[in-house]
């Protein structure tokens, strides 16, 4: 990935952070983007100490204006974005009967709308170059559903549909579009779950362990590589066998 530039949303922690490290180790220049600029600066400092090229971009994917500003600044620093990893996401869980419109809108706008508008920012450069990698971080929940997460599941299922549609649109220009669907991964987002829920989930995972952010990052790194040039419109499950 030498001389390639990767832009990772939600890069301040968890899966996004792991993706930034994995792509940098693969010799890509990396743009780390999120709302938590202080955490991004800490990450960037440690990466630069290891010889990596890193640019920090403040980004709120729920805001189209913020998305446009972040990508404009990143391209002025590094030029064309070759690899886009749409990782940023939020949860606003609740039973459908009681789910507020604000919670529905926030999750759909951030997890699905944010990904789409980010993709729009990189398309022109990728199409002109006849090369690009778009990787959307979906979820096993978008494939199998989950009680209390109608908004999150709908957004992630929508992300899978978006992946397949864009793969068809962009394939003639050598731009691949794929999704990675993690299962239960140990991150800050899942740390707050009760032990009872964790034990129940573990019992349904054939590999009998929870995933790590690095497991997902390895899949992202592969899909971003030249080795994956004949893969597009695919959903790569990284879930320990939870959903097949």
Tens digits of per-residue pLDDT, 119-140? Answer: 999 999 999 999 999 999 999 9
Query: What's the CA gap between 71 and 6, in Å, rounded?
Result: 11
pLDDT value at 84 more than 90:
yes
Look at residue 244 and tell me if it is in a domain. no
Return the pLDDT at 200. Answer: 86
| Token output for 21 | 């490290």
The model's confidence at residue 193, banded by pLDDT at 50, 70 and 90, is confident
The answer to whether residues 157 and 181 touch, using CB atoms and an 8 Å cutoff, is no
pTM (predicted TM-score): 0.96
Per the prediction, the chain carries an average pLDDT of 96
pLDDT for residue 189: 64
Position 199 scores a pLDDT of: 87
Residue 189 lies in a domain: yes
Under DSSP, the state recorded for 228 is G
Which CATH number belongs to the domain containing residue 121 in this structure? 3.40.50.720
Domain hosting residue 230, numbered range: 5-238
Does the pLDDT at position 219 exceed 80?
A: yes
In a domain, 243, yes or no: no
- Mean pLDDT over 55-74 rounds to 98
Q: How far is CA 85 from CA 104, 116, 208, in A?
A: 23, 12, 28
State the average pLDDT over residues 31-50: 98
C-alpha 176/C-alpha 14 separation (Å) is 24
Q: Does residue 30 lie within any of the structural domains?
A: yes
Work out the average pLDDT over 51-78.
97
Q: Which residues are known catalytic residues? A: 152
> For residue 51, is it within any domain?
yes
> CB atoms < 10 A from the CB of 37, how many?
16
Residue 196 clears pLDDT 90, i.e. is over it: no
Q: Which residues pair with 137 in a beta bridge?
A: 180
Inform me whether the pLDDT recorded for 197 exceeds 90: no
Question: What is the number of other CB atoms lying within 10 angstroms of the CB of residue 193?
Answer: 12
Mean pLDDT of 169-185: 97
In the chain, the number of structural domains is 1
């Amino acid at each position: 990935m030498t001389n390639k530039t990767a832009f990772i949303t939600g890069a301040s922690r968890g899966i996004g952070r792991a993706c930034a490290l994995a792509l940098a180790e693969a010799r890509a220049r990396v743009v780390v983007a999120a709302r938590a600029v202080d955490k991004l600066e800490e990450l960037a400092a440690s990466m630069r100490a290891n010889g990596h090229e890193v640019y920090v971009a403040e980004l709120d994917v729920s805001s189209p204006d913020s998305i446009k500003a972040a990508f404009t600044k990143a391209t002025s620093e590094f030029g064309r974005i070759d690899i886009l990893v749409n990782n940023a996401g939020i949860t606003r869980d609740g039973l459908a009967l009681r789910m507020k419109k604000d919670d529905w809108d926030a999750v759909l706008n951030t997890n699905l709308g944010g990904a789409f508008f980010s993709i729009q920012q990189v398309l022109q450069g990728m199409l002109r170059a006849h090369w690009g990698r778009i990787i959307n971080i979906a979820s096993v929940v978008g494939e199998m559903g989950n009680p209390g997460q109608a908004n999150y599941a709908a957004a992630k299922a929508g992300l899978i549909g978006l992946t397949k549609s864009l793969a068809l649109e962009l394939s003639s220009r050598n731009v691949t579009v794929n999704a990675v669907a993690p299962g239960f991964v140990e991150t800050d987002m899942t740390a707050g779950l009760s032990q009872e829920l964790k034990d129940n989930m573990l019992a349904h995972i054939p590999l009998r362990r929870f995933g790590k952010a690095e497991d997902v990052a390895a899949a992202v790194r592969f899909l971003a590589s030249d080795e994956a040039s004949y893969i597009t419109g695919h959903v790569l499950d990284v879930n320990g066998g939870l959903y097949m």
